[in-house]
Amino acid sequence: MIGQRLQERLGQPVIVEDRPGASSNVATEAVVRSAADGYTLLSIGSPNVINATLYGSLNYNFIRDIAPVASTASLPDIVVVNPDFPAKTIPEFIAYAKANPGKVAMASAGNGTSGHMAGELFKMMAGVDLLHVPYRGGPPAVTDLLAGRVQRTSRARSAPGE
């Protein structure tokens, strides 16, 4: 969708090439290695920032090698619990987690994802001990949340129109 809108606004062809892998490191490295001619863009997200701190030996320096040009979306994280979970508000959730340290399972789409980082920040700020359960992507985490196998997940809310 972004490629189509860019093509309309720029009046020239725009080719979108998906480069999955290594939590966006494959795509980022491909862009860093491309000619610095202004014709190659990288759509970044929180994984790019997280990767810069988690990986000690990337083949690029994200801050030095990538220059921001536009913001296309803002996606806040939200806390989601199973409908059967006894807490219905954040204060109730914190009280429950404090009364049951290490027994409330916090799902994420994987280690180092924005949901994982948001969950770790929540744990620190609320002073609670949650059990992190990393999944291989968001859909399996949500499936287990709905089935009651984990009690909480942090999900990025979709931008309007998605």
Over range 2-16, report the average pLDDT.
91
Supply the mean pLDDT for the chain.
87
Closest CA to 73 of 18, 16, 1, 132: 1
- Asked whether residue 140 carries a pLDDT value surpassing 60, the answer given is yes
- Farthest CA pair distance, the chain: 59
Q: What is the pTM of this model?
A: 0.66
For the domain spanning 77-156, the CATH number is: 3.40.190.10
Chain segment 43-75, per-residue pLDDT in tens: 988 888 888 888 889 999 998 999 988 888 887
Q: Where are the domains of the chain?
A: 2-65, 77-156
**Res 84 pLDDT > 80:** yes
Q: Which residue has the tokens 């942090």?
A: 154
